[in-house]
Structure 1
Amino acid sequence: MIAVVLVRFAYLAVYHAFAALWLLRTTDREKDVEILALRHQLAVLHRQLGDQRPRLRPEDRALFAALLVPLACATLRRLQLLVSPDTVLRWHRDLIKRRHARTSVNRRPGRPRAVASIRRLVLRLATENPSWGYRRIHGELALLGVAIAASTVWEILKTAGIDPAPRRTTVTWADFLRSQAEAILAMDFIETVTLTGQRQYILAAIHHASRRVWILGTTTHLTHAWVTQAIRNLLMDLEDTGHLAQIKFLIRDRDAKYPALIDKILGTAGIATVLTGVRMPRMNSITERWVKTLRTELLDRTLIWNQTHLTHALREYERHYSEHRTHRSLAAAAPMRARPQPLEPAQIERLTVDRQDRLGGVIHEYQHAA
Protein backbone atom coordinates (compact mmCIF):
# COMPACT_ATOMS: atom_id res chain seq x y z
CA MET A 1 0.00 0.00 0.00
CA ILE A 2 2.77 2.45 0.92
CA ALA A 3 4.61 1.63 -2.31
CA VAL A 4 1.48 2.41 -4.37
CA VAL A 5 1.03 5.78 -2.62
CA LEU A 6 4.68 6.69 -3.24
CA VAL A 7 4.39 5.85 -6.95
CA ARG A 8 1.23 7.94 -7.32
CA PHE A 9 2.78 10.83 -5.40
CA ALA A 10 5.87 10.71 -7.62
CA TYR A 11 3.65 10.80 -10.71
CA LEU A 12 1.75 13.86 -9.42
CA ALA A 13 4.99 15.62 -8.47
CA VAL A 14 6.50 15.10 -11.95
CA TYR A 15 3.26 16.12 -13.62
CA HIS A 16 3.03 19.38 -11.67
CA ALA A 17 6.74 20.05 -12.14
CA PHE A 18 6.23 20.10 -15.91
CA ALA A 19 3.15 22.27 -15.35
CA ALA A 20 5.31 24.74 -13.39
CA LEU A 21 7.78 24.86 -16.28
CA TRP A 22 4.90 25.68 -18.63
CA LEU A 23 3.85 28.54 -16.34
CA LEU A 24 7.25 30.17 -16.81
CA ARG A 25 6.33 30.94 -20.46
CA THR A 26 3.03 32.62 -19.53
CA THR A 27 2.67 36.31 -18.64
CA ASP A 28 1.37 37.64 -15.34
CA ARG A 29 -1.89 38.70 -17.02
CA GLU A 30 -2.49 35.16 -18.29
CA LYS A 31 -1.71 33.74 -14.81
CA ASP A 32 -4.17 36.12 -13.17
CA VAL A 33 -6.91 35.12 -15.61
CA GLU A 34 -6.17 31.42 -15.00
CA ILE A 35 -6.29 31.92 -11.23
CA LEU A 36 -9.68 33.68 -11.52
CA ALA A 37 -11.00 30.88 -13.72
CA LEU A 38 -9.78 28.20 -11.28
CA ARG A 39 -11.36 30.08 -8.35
CA HIS A 40 -14.65 30.16 -10.20
CA GLN A 41 -14.39 26.42 -10.85
CA LEU A 42 -13.82 25.85 -7.14
CA ALA A 43 -16.88 27.98 -6.33
CA VAL A 44 -18.95 25.86 -8.69
CA LEU A 45 -17.65 22.66 -7.12
CA HIS A 46 -18.39 23.96 -3.61
CA ARG A 47 -21.93 24.78 -4.72
CA GLN A 48 -22.43 21.30 -6.17
CA LEU A 49 -20.86 19.38 -3.30
CA GLY A 50 -22.62 21.31 -0.57
CA ASP A 51 -21.87 19.65 2.78
CA GLN A 52 -20.26 16.61 1.16
CA ARG A 53 -16.55 16.20 1.64
CA PRO A 54 -14.35 15.51 -1.36
CA ARG A 55 -12.63 12.13 -1.50
CA LEU A 56 -8.91 12.67 -1.50
CA ARG A 57 -6.29 9.99 -1.85
CA PRO A 58 -3.20 9.91 0.38
CA GLU A 59 -1.02 11.15 -2.50
CA ASP A 60 -3.41 14.09 -3.02
CA ARG A 61 -3.10 15.07 0.63
CA ALA A 62 0.67 14.79 0.51
CA LEU A 63 0.87 17.01 -2.57
CA PHE A 64 -1.47 19.60 -1.03
CA ALA A 65 0.65 19.70 2.11
CA ALA A 66 3.91 20.00 0.14
CA LEU A 67 2.62 22.84 -2.10
CA LEU A 68 0.84 24.91 0.52
CA VAL A 69 3.27 24.69 3.45
CA PRO A 70 5.48 27.54 2.19
CA LEU A 71 2.46 29.88 2.30
CA ALA A 72 1.55 31.75 5.45
CA CYS A 73 -1.57 30.89 7.41
CA ALA A 74 -3.22 34.19 6.46
CA THR A 75 -2.67 33.45 2.77
CA LEU A 76 -4.11 29.97 3.19
CA ARG A 77 -7.27 31.34 4.78
CA ARG A 78 -7.87 33.67 1.79
CA LEU A 79 -7.63 30.79 -0.66
CA GLN A 80 -10.78 29.04 -1.80
CA LEU A 81 -9.78 25.37 -1.37
CA LEU A 82 -11.78 22.14 -1.40
CA VAL A 83 -10.71 21.66 2.19
CA SER A 84 -10.15 24.11 5.01
CA PRO A 85 -6.64 25.49 5.68
CA ASP A 86 -6.66 23.92 9.13
CA THR A 87 -7.18 20.52 7.52
CA VAL A 88 -4.23 21.04 5.20
CA LEU A 89 -2.02 22.05 8.12
CA ARG A 90 -3.18 19.01 10.07
CA TRP A 91 -2.22 16.81 7.14
CA HIS A 92 1.23 18.31 7.19
CA ARG A 93 1.60 17.78 10.95
CA ASP A 94 0.51 14.16 10.62
CA LEU A 95 2.99 13.61 7.78
CA ILE A 96 5.83 15.03 9.87
CA LYS A 97 4.82 12.88 12.86
CA ARG A 98 4.83 9.71 10.77
CA ARG A 99 8.24 10.56 9.36
CA HIS A 100 9.66 11.12 12.86
CA ALA A 101 8.00 7.91 14.06
CA ARG A 102 9.69 5.88 11.31
CA THR A 103 13.00 7.52 12.14
CA SER A 104 12.66 6.67 15.84
CA VAL A 105 11.81 3.04 15.04
CA ASN A 106 14.77 2.64 12.71
CA ARG A 107 17.09 4.30 15.19
CA ARG A 108 16.31 2.75 18.55
CA PRO A 109 18.14 4.35 21.46
CA GLY A 110 20.24 2.29 23.85
CA ARG A 111 22.12 -0.96 23.31
CA PRO A 112 21.57 -3.04 20.15
CA ARG A 113 19.25 -6.02 20.45
CA ALA A 114 20.94 -9.28 21.49
CA VAL A 115 21.46 -11.74 18.66
CA ALA A 116 18.99 -14.60 18.35
CA SER A 117 21.53 -17.30 19.29
CA ILE A 118 22.33 -15.58 22.60
CA ARG A 119 18.64 -15.16 23.37
CA ARG A 120 18.01 -18.86 22.71
CA LEU A 121 20.96 -19.77 24.95
CA VAL A 122 19.67 -17.57 27.79
CA LEU A 123 16.20 -19.12 27.56
CA ARG A 124 17.69 -22.62 27.45
CA LEU A 125 19.75 -22.02 30.60
CA ALA A 126 16.71 -20.64 32.40
CA THR A 127 14.55 -23.60 31.36
CA GLU A 128 17.09 -26.28 32.26
CA ASN A 129 18.02 -24.62 35.56
CA PRO A 130 14.87 -23.27 37.28
CA SER A 131 16.83 -22.14 40.36
CA TRP A 132 19.14 -19.86 38.37
CA GLY A 133 18.44 -16.15 38.47
CA TYR A 134 19.52 -13.72 35.77
CA ARG A 135 22.84 -12.99 37.50
CA ARG A 136 23.65 -16.70 37.76
CA ILE A 137 22.85 -17.08 34.06
CA HIS A 138 25.00 -14.03 33.33
CA GLY A 139 27.91 -15.67 35.14
CA GLU A 140 27.50 -18.91 33.19
CA LEU A 141 27.51 -16.96 29.93
CA ALA A 142 30.71 -15.22 31.00
CA LEU A 143 32.34 -18.64 31.50
CA LEU A 144 31.31 -19.50 27.95
CA GLY A 145 32.93 -16.32 26.64
CA VAL A 146 29.63 -14.56 25.83
CA ALA A 147 29.97 -10.82 26.56
CA ILE A 148 26.53 -9.59 27.58
CA ALA A 149 25.28 -7.32 30.33
CA ALA A 150 23.32 -8.74 33.26
CA SER A 151 20.53 -6.25 32.57
CA THR A 152 20.23 -7.66 29.04
CA VAL A 153 19.78 -11.16 30.47
CA TRP A 154 17.06 -9.81 32.74
CA GLU A 155 15.35 -8.12 29.78
CA ILE A 156 15.44 -11.34 27.71
CA LEU A 157 13.83 -13.34 30.52
CA LYS A 158 11.18 -10.68 31.14
CA THR A 159 10.30 -10.40 27.44
CA ALA A 160 9.90 -14.18 27.22
CA GLY A 161 7.55 -14.17 30.22
CA ILE A 162 9.86 -16.23 32.44
CA ASP A 163 9.33 -15.59 36.15
CA PRO A 164 12.20 -14.82 38.53
CA ALA A 165 14.09 -17.76 39.99
CA PRO A 166 12.18 -17.97 43.32
CA ARG A 167 8.94 -18.54 41.38
CA ARG A 168 10.49 -21.13 39.06
CA THR A 169 11.98 -23.38 41.73
CA THR A 170 8.67 -25.05 42.56
CA VAL A 171 9.12 -28.76 41.79
CA THR A 172 6.12 -30.85 40.75
CA TRP A 173 5.68 -34.47 41.80
CA ALA A 174 6.29 -35.61 38.23
CA ASP A 175 9.60 -33.71 38.07
CA PHE A 176 10.62 -35.01 41.49
CA LEU A 177 9.90 -38.64 40.64
CA ARG A 178 11.61 -38.27 37.27
CA SER A 179 14.76 -36.91 38.92
CA GLN A 180 14.79 -39.79 41.45
CA ALA A 181 13.92 -42.55 38.96
CA GLU A 182 17.51 -43.78 38.59
CA ALA A 183 17.59 -44.70 42.28
CA ILE A 184 14.18 -46.40 42.54
CA LEU A 185 13.36 -50.09 42.14
CA ALA A 186 9.82 -51.37 42.61
CA MET A 187 8.51 -54.86 43.34
CA ASP A 188 5.20 -56.69 43.48
CA PHE A 189 3.56 -60.13 43.44
CA ILE A 190 1.31 -61.32 40.61
CA GLU A 191 -1.08 -64.23 40.94
CA THR A 192 -2.34 -66.43 38.13
CA VAL A 193 -4.05 -69.84 37.82
CA THR A 194 -3.07 -72.72 35.53
CA LEU A 195 -5.50 -74.94 33.61
CA THR A 196 -5.35 -77.48 36.44
CA GLY A 197 -6.58 -74.87 38.89
CA GLN A 198 -3.19 -74.49 40.58
CA ARG A 199 -2.41 -71.02 41.87
CA GLN A 200 0.97 -69.59 40.84
CA TYR A 201 2.78 -66.69 42.48
CA ILE A 202 5.09 -64.49 40.38
CA LEU A 203 7.58 -62.05 41.89
CA ALA A 204 8.85 -59.28 39.60
CA ALA A 205 10.83 -56.06 39.96
CA ILE A 206 11.11 -53.03 37.66
CA HIS A 207 13.61 -50.18 37.49
CA HIS A 208 11.82 -46.82 37.25
CA ALA A 209 14.31 -45.05 34.99
CA SER A 210 15.20 -47.74 32.45
CA ARG A 211 11.94 -49.75 32.74
CA ARG A 212 14.13 -52.87 32.90
CA VAL A 213 12.15 -55.81 34.31
CA TRP A 214 13.44 -58.74 36.35
CA ILE A 215 11.05 -61.70 36.78
CA LEU A 216 12.51 -63.30 39.89
CA GLY A 217 10.62 -66.58 39.66
CA THR A 218 7.37 -68.44 40.10
CA THR A 219 6.21 -70.81 42.84
CA THR A 220 3.13 -72.63 43.98
CA HIS A 221 4.16 -72.67 47.65
CA LEU A 222 5.11 -69.16 48.66
CA THR A 223 7.43 -69.20 51.67
CA HIS A 224 9.67 -66.62 53.31
CA ALA A 225 12.71 -68.68 52.40
CA TRP A 226 11.75 -68.61 48.70
CA VAL A 227 11.25 -64.81 48.75
CA THR A 228 14.54 -64.29 50.58
CA GLN A 229 16.45 -66.31 48.01
CA ALA A 230 14.73 -64.45 45.19
CA ILE A 231 15.89 -61.12 46.69
CA ARG A 232 19.46 -62.42 46.92
CA ASN A 233 19.31 -63.50 43.29
CA LEU A 234 18.01 -60.05 42.36
CA LEU A 235 20.94 -58.33 44.08
CA MET A 236 23.38 -60.51 42.16
CA ASP A 237 21.66 -59.68 38.87
CA LEU A 238 21.74 -55.96 39.71
CA GLU A 239 25.43 -56.16 40.43
CA ASP A 240 26.10 -57.99 37.16
CA THR A 241 24.15 -55.42 35.11
CA GLY A 242 25.66 -52.41 36.90
CA HIS A 243 22.39 -51.17 38.43
CA LEU A 244 23.21 -51.97 42.05
CA ALA A 245 25.42 -48.91 42.61
CA GLN A 246 22.72 -46.43 41.59
CA ILE A 247 19.65 -47.99 43.25
CA LYS A 248 18.94 -46.59 46.71
CA PHE A 249 15.24 -47.33 47.29
CA LEU A 250 12.91 -50.30 46.83
CA ILE A 251 9.15 -49.67 46.75
CA ARG A 252 6.81 -52.48 47.79
CA ASP A 253 3.47 -52.92 49.49
CA ARG A 254 2.81 -54.19 53.04
CA ASP A 255 1.95 -57.76 51.98
CA ALA A 256 2.75 -60.41 54.59
CA LYS A 257 4.44 -62.44 51.84
CA TYR A 258 7.57 -60.32 52.34
CA PRO A 259 9.70 -61.47 55.29
CA ALA A 260 11.38 -58.92 57.53
CA LEU A 261 14.75 -60.43 56.63
CA ILE A 262 14.71 -58.98 53.13
CA ASP A 263 14.88 -55.42 54.50
CA LYS A 264 18.15 -56.32 56.24
CA ILE A 265 19.50 -57.96 53.11
CA LEU A 266 18.65 -54.90 51.04
CA GLY A 267 20.07 -52.63 53.73
CA THR A 268 23.48 -54.31 53.52
CA ALA A 269 23.48 -53.42 49.80
CA GLY A 270 22.64 -49.77 50.55
CA ILE A 271 18.98 -50.03 49.49
CA ALA A 272 16.27 -48.66 51.77
CA THR A 273 12.78 -50.18 51.70
CA VAL A 274 9.85 -47.80 51.16
CA LEU A 275 6.41 -49.20 52.04
CA THR A 276 3.31 -47.98 50.25
CA GLY A 277 0.26 -46.82 52.14
CA VAL A 278 -2.61 -49.11 53.04
CA ARG A 279 -4.79 -49.69 49.97
CA MET A 280 -2.85 -47.09 47.98
CA PRO A 281 -1.64 -48.87 44.81
CA ARG A 282 -0.90 -45.53 43.15
CA MET A 283 2.17 -45.24 45.34
CA ASN A 284 3.55 -48.13 43.30
CA SER A 285 1.94 -47.05 40.04
CA ILE A 286 4.72 -48.05 37.63
CA THR A 287 4.72 -51.62 38.89
CA GLU A 288 0.92 -51.76 38.84
CA ARG A 289 0.93 -50.52 35.26
CA TRP A 290 3.46 -53.19 34.27
CA VAL A 291 1.31 -55.89 35.92
CA LYS A 292 -1.64 -54.76 33.82
CA THR A 293 0.52 -54.89 30.67
CA LEU A 294 1.69 -58.40 31.59
CA ARG A 295 -1.88 -59.60 32.01
CA THR A 296 -3.13 -57.91 28.83
CA GLU A 297 -0.32 -59.02 26.54
CA LEU A 298 0.48 -62.47 27.98
CA LEU A 299 -1.49 -64.01 30.84
CA ASP A 300 -4.95 -63.19 29.46
CA ARG A 301 -4.00 -64.52 26.02
CA THR A 302 -2.21 -67.72 27.03
CA LEU A 303 -3.48 -70.97 28.50
CA ILE A 304 -0.90 -71.88 31.15
CA TRP A 305 -0.50 -75.63 31.61
CA ASN A 306 1.83 -75.80 34.58
CA GLN A 307 4.67 -74.02 36.36
CA THR A 308 7.23 -75.01 33.72
CA HIS A 309 5.08 -73.56 30.96
CA LEU A 310 4.54 -70.39 32.98
CA THR A 311 8.27 -69.96 33.62
CA HIS A 312 9.04 -70.36 29.92
CA ALA A 313 6.33 -67.86 28.92
CA LEU A 314 7.53 -65.31 31.46
CA ARG A 315 11.16 -65.60 30.29
CA GLU A 316 10.09 -65.03 26.69
CA TYR A 317 7.96 -62.05 27.65
CA GLU A 318 10.74 -60.58 29.81
CA ARG A 319 13.11 -60.78 26.84
CA HIS A 320 10.51 -59.21 24.56
CA TYR A 321 9.69 -56.43 27.05
CA SER A 322 13.31 -55.47 27.69
CA GLU A 323 14.77 -55.87 24.21
CA HIS A 324 11.97 -55.06 21.77
CA ARG A 325 8.85 -53.46 23.22
CA THR A 326 8.85 -49.67 22.93
CA HIS A 327 8.03 -47.30 25.82
CA ARG A 328 6.68 -43.78 25.73
CA SER A 329 8.75 -42.82 28.77
CA LEU A 330 11.89 -43.80 26.81
CA ALA A 331 10.95 -41.89 23.65
CA ALA A 332 9.85 -45.08 21.83
CA ALA A 333 13.02 -46.99 22.74
CA ALA A 334 13.28 -50.35 24.50
CA PRO A 335 14.92 -50.68 27.95
CA MET A 336 17.88 -52.62 26.58
CA ARG A 337 17.92 -51.28 23.02
CA ALA A 338 18.44 -47.72 21.84
CA ARG A 339 16.10 -46.14 19.34
CA PRO A 340 17.56 -46.45 15.80
CA GLN A 341 18.16 -43.49 13.51
CA PRO A 342 15.28 -42.58 11.17
CA LEU A 343 15.48 -44.08 7.70
CA GLU A 344 16.18 -41.98 4.65
CA PRO A 345 13.39 -41.63 2.04
CA ALA A 346 15.28 -43.92 -0.34
CA GLN A 347 15.60 -46.56 2.39
CA ILE A 348 11.88 -46.36 3.20
CA GLU A 349 11.01 -47.07 -0.43
CA ARG A 350 13.08 -50.28 -0.30
CA LEU A 351 11.93 -51.22 3.20
CA THR A 352 11.19 -54.91 3.74
CA VAL A 353 10.07 -56.14 7.17
CA ASP A 354 9.93 -59.68 8.54
CA ARG A 355 7.79 -60.87 11.45
CA GLN A 356 9.11 -63.06 14.25
CA ASP A 357 6.62 -64.88 16.46
CA ARG A 358 7.14 -65.60 20.14
CA LEU A 359 5.15 -68.06 22.22
CA GLY A 360 3.42 -69.52 19.18
CA GLY A 361 2.29 -66.16 17.79
CA VAL A 362 1.01 -64.59 21.02
CA ILE A 363 3.70 -61.91 20.64
CA HIS A 364 4.82 -60.48 17.29
CA GLU A 365 8.13 -58.72 16.70
CA TYR A 366 9.13 -56.98 13.47
CA GLN A 367 12.60 -56.38 12.10
CA HIS A 368 14.36 -55.54 8.85
CA ALA A 369 14.59 -58.41 6.41
CA ALA A 370 18.06 -59.87 6.02
Structure 2
Amino acid sequence: MSLENPLWGAPRLHGELLKLGFRLSQSTVSKYMIPRKGRPAQSWITFLRNHASAIAAIDMLTVRTFAFECLYAFVVLSHDRRRILRIEVTTHPTALWLASQVAQVLGAGSGVRVLVRDNDGAYGAAFRDQVRALGLDDRPTRPGSPWQNGHVERLIGSIRRECLDHQIIFNAAHLRRVLGAYAAYYNDDRTHLALAKDAPETRAVEAHGRIVSRRVLGGLHRRYFRIRSK
Protein backbone atom coordinates (compact mmCIF):
# COMPACT_ATOMS: atom_id res chain seq x y z
CA MET A 1 0.00 0.00 0.00
CA SER A 2 2.88 2.33 0.80
CA LEU A 3 4.56 1.54 -2.51
CA GLU A 4 1.38 1.98 -4.53
CA ASN A 5 0.48 5.36 -3.00
CA PRO A 6 3.61 7.53 -2.80
CA LEU A 7 1.57 10.62 -1.84
CA TRP A 8 0.00 9.00 1.24
CA GLY A 9 1.34 9.65 4.70
CA ALA A 10 0.95 7.49 7.82
CA PRO A 11 -2.53 8.86 8.76
CA ARG A 12 -3.97 8.00 5.35
CA LEU A 13 -2.37 4.56 5.30
CA HIS A 14 -3.54 3.93 8.85
CA GLY A 15 -7.11 4.89 7.93
CA GLU A 16 -7.17 2.48 5.00
CA LEU A 17 -5.86 -0.35 7.18
CA LEU A 18 -8.55 0.34 9.79
CA LYS A 19 -11.19 0.04 7.05
CA LEU A 20 -9.71 -3.33 6.13
CA GLY A 21 -10.11 -4.59 9.69
CA PHE A 22 -6.51 -4.24 10.87
CA ARG A 23 -6.27 -2.97 14.45
CA LEU A 24 -2.90 -1.33 14.97
CA SER A 25 -1.57 2.06 15.96
CA GLN A 26 -0.56 4.84 13.60
CA SER A 27 2.92 4.78 15.11
CA THR A 28 3.27 1.16 13.94
CA VAL A 29 2.30 2.21 10.42
CA SER A 30 4.90 5.00 10.56
CA LYS A 31 7.54 2.51 11.68
CA TYR A 32 7.04 0.07 8.82
CA MET A 33 5.98 2.27 5.89
CA ILE A 34 8.54 2.89 3.17
CA PRO A 35 10.23 6.31 3.55
CA ARG A 36 9.05 8.89 1.03
CA LYS A 37 12.47 9.11 -0.61
CA GLY A 38 12.34 5.37 -1.29
CA ARG A 39 8.87 5.41 -2.83
CA PRO A 40 8.33 6.04 -6.54
CA ALA A 41 7.20 9.52 -7.58
CA GLN A 42 4.02 10.15 -9.53
CA SER A 43 4.37 8.58 -12.95
CA TRP A 44 4.33 10.60 -16.16
CA ILE A 45 1.10 8.88 -17.25
CA THR A 46 -0.55 9.79 -13.94
CA PHE A 47 0.57 13.40 -14.36
CA LEU A 48 -0.96 13.57 -17.85
CA ARG A 49 -4.26 12.07 -16.70
CA ASN A 50 -4.53 14.36 -13.69
CA HIS A 51 -3.97 17.49 -15.77
CA ALA A 52 -5.62 16.53 -19.08
CA SER A 53 -8.00 19.50 -19.15
CA ALA A 54 -5.10 21.95 -18.96
CA ILE A 55 -2.59 20.18 -21.24
CA ALA A 56 -1.84 20.77 -24.90
CA ALA A 57 0.73 18.81 -26.87
CA ILE A 58 2.63 19.84 -29.99
CA ASP A 59 4.68 18.08 -32.62
CA MET A 60 5.68 18.29 -36.27
CA LEU A 61 5.54 15.87 -39.14
CA THR A 62 7.35 16.06 -42.46
CA VAL A 63 5.58 15.61 -45.78
CA ARG A 64 7.17 15.18 -49.21
CA THR A 65 5.44 16.77 -52.17
CA PHE A 66 5.08 15.41 -55.69
CA ALA A 67 8.25 17.37 -56.58
CA PHE A 68 10.08 16.04 -53.47
CA GLU A 69 9.89 19.36 -51.64
CA CYS A 70 9.95 18.88 -47.86
CA LEU A 71 7.06 20.50 -45.98
CA TYR A 72 6.46 20.63 -42.24
CA ALA A 73 3.05 20.39 -40.58
CA PHE A 74 2.82 21.74 -37.04
CA VAL A 75 0.11 20.16 -34.88
CA VAL A 76 -1.41 21.37 -31.59
CA LEU A 77 -3.60 18.86 -29.74
CA SER A 78 -5.72 19.30 -26.61
CA HIS A 79 -5.41 16.38 -24.20
CA ASP A 80 -8.84 16.92 -22.69
CA ARG A 81 -11.05 15.90 -25.63
CA ARG A 82 -8.28 14.99 -28.12
CA ARG A 83 -9.26 18.03 -30.18
CA ILE A 84 -6.94 19.30 -32.88
CA LEU A 85 -6.50 22.95 -31.97
CA ARG A 86 -4.34 23.86 -34.94
CA ILE A 87 -2.60 22.43 -37.99
CA GLU A 88 -0.39 24.77 -40.00
CA VAL A 89 2.12 24.19 -42.78
CA THR A 90 5.49 25.76 -43.52
CA THR A 91 8.68 25.07 -45.46
CA HIS A 92 10.89 26.45 -42.68
CA PRO A 93 9.75 25.85 -39.07
CA THR A 94 11.83 28.52 -37.36
CA ALA A 95 11.58 29.24 -33.64
CA LEU A 96 9.88 32.58 -34.40
CA TRP A 97 7.29 30.92 -36.63
CA LEU A 98 6.58 28.24 -34.02
CA ALA A 99 6.31 30.92 -31.32
CA SER A 100 3.72 32.74 -33.41
CA GLN A 101 1.67 29.57 -33.90
CA VAL A 102 1.63 28.83 -30.18
CA ALA A 103 0.69 32.42 -29.30
CA GLN A 104 -2.28 32.33 -31.67
CA VAL A 105 -3.81 29.15 -30.28
CA LEU A 106 -2.68 29.00 -26.64
CA GLY A 107 -3.01 32.64 -25.64
CA ALA A 108 -5.21 34.11 -22.92
CA GLY A 109 -8.51 32.31 -22.50
CA SER A 110 -7.36 28.99 -23.96
CA GLY A 111 -7.43 27.28 -20.56
CA VAL A 112 -4.14 25.54 -21.32
CA ARG A 113 -1.51 25.66 -18.59
CA VAL A 114 0.91 22.86 -19.56
CA LEU A 115 2.64 22.37 -22.92
CA VAL A 116 4.13 18.96 -23.76
CA ARG A 117 6.65 18.76 -26.59
CA ASP A 118 9.75 16.92 -27.70
CA ASN A 119 13.30 18.30 -27.81
CA ASP A 120 13.42 19.23 -31.49
CA GLY A 121 16.07 21.87 -32.12
CA ALA A 122 13.46 24.04 -33.85
CA TYR A 123 12.02 24.94 -30.44
CA GLY A 124 14.73 27.56 -29.92
CA ALA A 125 15.10 30.55 -27.61
CA ALA A 126 12.39 32.64 -29.30
CA PHE A 127 9.91 29.79 -28.92
CA ARG A 128 10.78 29.17 -25.28
CA ASP A 129 10.55 32.89 -24.50
CA GLN A 130 7.06 32.99 -26.00
CA VAL A 131 5.96 29.95 -23.98
CA ARG A 132 7.12 31.67 -20.78
CA ALA A 133 5.39 34.90 -21.79
CA LEU A 134 2.13 32.97 -22.18
CA GLY A 135 2.52 31.61 -18.66
CA LEU A 136 2.72 27.99 -19.85
CA ASP A 137 4.51 25.26 -17.96
CA ASP A 138 6.93 23.98 -20.61
CA ARG A 139 7.29 20.20 -20.35
CA PRO A 140 9.78 18.81 -22.88
CA THR A 141 9.91 15.02 -22.93
CA ARG A 142 13.02 13.07 -22.08
CA PRO A 143 15.29 12.32 -25.06
CA GLY A 144 14.34 9.08 -26.79
CA SER A 145 10.97 8.87 -24.99
CA PRO A 146 8.26 9.57 -27.61
CA TRP A 147 5.73 7.72 -25.43
CA GLN A 148 5.78 10.72 -23.07
CA ASN A 149 4.04 12.68 -25.83
CA GLY A 150 1.93 9.70 -26.83
CA HIS A 151 -1.36 11.46 -27.62
CA VAL A 152 0.07 13.68 -30.33
CA GLU A 153 2.34 10.89 -31.60
CA ARG A 154 -0.77 8.75 -32.05
CA LEU A 155 -2.52 11.62 -33.83
CA ILE A 156 0.36 11.98 -36.27
CA GLY A 157 0.17 8.25 -36.96
CA SER A 158 -3.56 8.61 -37.67
CA ILE A 159 -2.93 11.55 -40.00
CA ARG A 160 -0.49 9.45 -42.00
CA ARG A 161 -2.51 6.21 -42.05
CA GLU A 162 -5.93 7.78 -42.61
CA CYS A 163 -4.99 10.69 -44.86
CA LEU A 164 -1.49 11.37 -46.17
CA ASP A 165 -0.66 7.77 -47.13
CA HIS A 166 -3.52 8.03 -49.64
CA GLN A 167 -2.77 11.49 -51.05
CA ILE A 168 -0.25 13.00 -53.45
CA ILE A 169 0.63 16.43 -52.12
CA PHE A 170 1.52 19.07 -54.72
CA ASN A 171 2.50 22.09 -52.61
CA ALA A 172 2.05 23.82 -49.26
CA ALA A 173 -1.37 25.24 -50.12
CA HIS A 174 -2.61 21.80 -51.13
CA LEU A 175 -1.28 20.22 -47.93
CA ARG A 176 -2.93 22.96 -45.86
CA ARG A 177 -6.31 22.23 -47.49
CA VAL A 178 -5.97 18.47 -47.04
CA LEU A 179 -4.95 18.72 -43.39
CA GLY A 180 -7.68 21.28 -42.72
CA ALA A 181 -10.29 18.87 -44.09
CA TYR A 182 -8.85 16.01 -42.05
CA ALA A 183 -8.82 18.11 -38.88
CA ALA A 184 -12.50 18.98 -39.35
CA TYR A 185 -13.31 15.28 -39.86
CA TYR A 186 -11.18 14.28 -36.85
CA ASN A 187 -12.78 16.82 -34.51
CA ASP A 188 -16.40 16.66 -35.64
CA ASP A 189 -16.97 13.20 -37.10
CA ARG A 190 -14.39 10.59 -36.15
CA THR A 191 -15.20 8.53 -33.03
CA HIS A 192 -12.46 7.77 -30.50
CA LEU A 193 -12.10 4.81 -28.17
CA ALA A 194 -10.65 7.07 -25.46
CA LEU A 195 -13.83 9.18 -25.56
CA ALA A 196 -16.24 6.25 -25.18
CA LYS A 197 -16.62 6.28 -28.99
CA ASP A 198 -17.65 9.91 -29.16
CA ALA A 199 -16.02 12.62 -31.30
CA PRO A 200 -13.90 15.40 -29.75
CA GLU A 201 -16.70 17.81 -30.61
CA THR A 202 -19.49 15.72 -29.11
CA ARG A 203 -21.79 14.11 -31.67
CA ALA A 204 -25.46 13.74 -30.78
CA VAL A 205 -27.04 10.31 -31.13
CA GLU A 206 -29.45 10.29 -34.08
CA ALA A 207 -32.07 7.56 -33.72
CA HIS A 208 -34.69 8.58 -36.27
CA GLY A 209 -34.73 9.35 -39.97
CA ARG A 210 -33.18 8.03 -43.14
CA ILE A 211 -29.44 7.31 -43.02
CA VAL A 212 -27.32 9.22 -45.53
CA SER A 213 -23.61 9.92 -45.77
CA ARG A 214 -21.34 12.81 -46.63
CA ARG A 215 -18.02 12.27 -48.40
CA VAL A 216 -14.90 13.43 -46.58
CA LEU A 217 -11.54 13.95 -48.33
CA GLY A 218 -12.97 12.93 -51.68
CA GLY A 219 -14.57 9.79 -50.31
CA LEU A 220 -11.59 8.54 -48.31
CA HIS A 221 -13.90 8.73 -45.29
CA ARG A 222 -17.61 9.31 -44.77
CA ARG A 223 -19.78 10.92 -42.12
CA TYR A 224 -23.09 9.12 -41.55
CA PHE A 225 -26.14 10.92 -40.23
CA ARG A 226 -29.91 10.83 -40.37
CA ILE A 227 -32.32 13.17 -42.10
CA ARG A 228 -36.04 13.47 -41.52
CA SER A 229 -38.18 12.09 -44.31
CA LYS A 230 -40.62 14.59 -45.81
Relative to the length of structure 2, the TM-score reads: 0.76
Displacement after TM superposition at 1:223 (Å): 2.5
Cα distance between partner residues in 2 of 1:232 and 1:274: 17
Displacement after TM superposition at 1:339 (Å): 4.8
Q: 1:231 to 1:174 in 2, by over 3 A?
A: closer
Q: CA RMSD in A?
A: 3.0
Show the counterpart of 1:204: 75
Moved over 3 A (4+): 130-133, 170-176
Number of residue-to-residue matches in the alignment: 202
Q: Which has the higher contact order (CA 8 A, sep 6+)?
A: 2
Displacement after TM superposition at 1:235 (Å): 2.6
* 8 Å Cα contact 2:83/2:200 also seen in 1: yes
Of Structure 1 and Structure 2, the greater strand share is in: 2
Letter in 2 for 1:362: L
Q: 1:174 to 1:257 in 2, by over 3 A?
A: closer
| Partner SS, residue 76 of structure 2 | strand
Relative to the length of structure 1, the TM-score reads: 0.49
Matched, 1:227 2:92: no
| Partner SS, residue 228 of structure 1 | helix
Show the counterpart of 1:62: none
Show the counterpart of 1:190: 61
Q: 1:227 to 1:177 in 2, by over 3 A?
A: closer
Show the counterpart of 1:12: none
Q: Residue by residue, what CA displacement relative to the aligned partner does 1:108-139 show, whole Å, maximum 9, x if unpaired?
A: xxxxxxxxxxxxxxxxxxxxxx9997xx99xx
Displacement after TM superposition at 1:269 (Å): 2.0
Letter in 2 for 1:203: F
Q: Residue by residue, what CA displacement relative to the aligned partner does 1:64-106 show, whole Å, maximum 9, x if unpaired?
A: xxxxxxxxxxxxxxxxxxxxxxxxxxxxxxxxxxxxxxxxxxx
Letter in 1 for 2:63: T
Show the counterpart of 2:151: 286
| Structure 2 unmatched ranges of 5 or more | 1-7, 22-29, 34-39
Displacement after TM superposition at 1:352 (Å): 2.4
Matched, 1:364 2:222: yes
Letter in 2 for 1:187: I
Identity %: 28
Letter in 2 for 1:226: W
Q: 1:299 to 1:362 in 2, by over 3 A?
A: same
Cα distance between partner residues in 1 of 2:137 and 2:44: 20
* 8 Å Cα contact 2:87/2:180 also seen in 1: no
Displacement after TM superposition at 1:174 (Å): 4.5
Matched, 1:332 2:185: no
Of Structure 1 and Structure 2, the greater helix share is in: 1
* 8 Å Cα contact 1:187/1:204 also seen in 2: yes
Displacement after TM superposition at 1:176 (Å): 4.1
Q: Residue by residue, what CA displacement relative to the aligned partner does 1:192-217 show, whole Å, maximum 9, x if unpaired?
A: 11111111101011111111112341
